Amino acid sequence: MSTLNVLSTLVRRLDDSSLRDLNVIPWAAPVLSFGDVSQSKIATLGLNPSNREFVDVSGNELTGPERRFHTLSSLKLKRWSAAKDVHLEKILESCNSDFSGNPYDGWFKALDKLILGANVSYYGMFSSACHLDLVPYATACKWVELTSAQRNALLKSGGDALGRILRESPVELIVLNGQSVIENLQLVSGTVFNKQANPEWTLPLKESSGVTGYAYRGTLSQISGVSLGREISVLGFSHNIQSSYGVTTKVKTSIQEWITHSASEVLC
């Protein structure tokens, strides 16, 4: 299945009222990728696109040069069922060119620093990294604020897309940002990754011995029943770089060094 076919399926689902019950932003286009996955050998993985990809701090839709991704209004559509190939191509182009436009640097710069040691980056003319999400739909609230039933339904409704995207891509390594991403990827892939505590990643806390950091390694061969056609290596760290309280510069540097060393072992 081509990327446009995958996108067409995801777009049509947005007209289904059941997605609105899952707090999906109904007028926001699905985000297949941040950056061009067809040119990437490493992909970082998150849960789902932030609402800040589509709205400002006041909740107003981003427009003009501030816009990152397409919406019904930007495509001049009244409903997603009216989308034609020309609209799908515009959505796909906005995904591929995200890091050369107005990327959400407040979120992505921290991750980019972690993968730079593997000689890849989201940014620049010759970028060879992208970001993917388990679910391609932005929600009006944060993932943790959704009910478990909503989260499971979202994984079911959009989870197959990730498998199809990866199957057609040159991605060799996926880097997982945070425990929630790790647990949900294990769930949809039916895979259990090797888990090992890393003392250098312990987050200091005054009232306890600290929060232990864990490193995960493994491989993927299928996601949500979709065969990837090969094995893709996986590296994960339990601390969410942007959200975990007390992630120090020292811990981030240690994670970066671990990714650099581990990536050199798995990349062709």
- The count of C-alpha atoms lying within 13 angstroms of the C-alpha of 44, restricted to the half-sphere facing its C-beta, is 28
Under 8 Å between Cβ of 104 and 52: yes
DSSP 7: H
Burial of 59 (0-12, 13-18, 19+ CB in 10 A): exposed
Q: What is the pLDDT of residues 189-224, one digit of tens each?
A: 999 999 999 999 998 877 777 889 999 999 999 999
Lookup: tokens for 20 = 């609105």
Q: What does the block give as tokens for 35?
A: 């950056």
Domains of the chain: 3-266 (3.40.470.10)
- CA distance readout (Å), 111 to 66, 215, 265: 22, 16, 20
Among 62-66, 198-202, 214-218, 245-249, the minimum mean pLDDT is found in: 245-249
Instruction: Give me the pLDDT at residue 157, please.
Output: 82
pLDDT tens across 122-151, in order? 998 778 999 999 999 999 999 999 999 999
pTM: 0.94
Q: Which pLDDT value is given to residue 169?
A: 95
Degrees to nearest 5, angle at CA 51 with 180 and 150:
50
Query: Residue 158's pLDDT band (boundaries 50, 70, 90)?
Result: confident
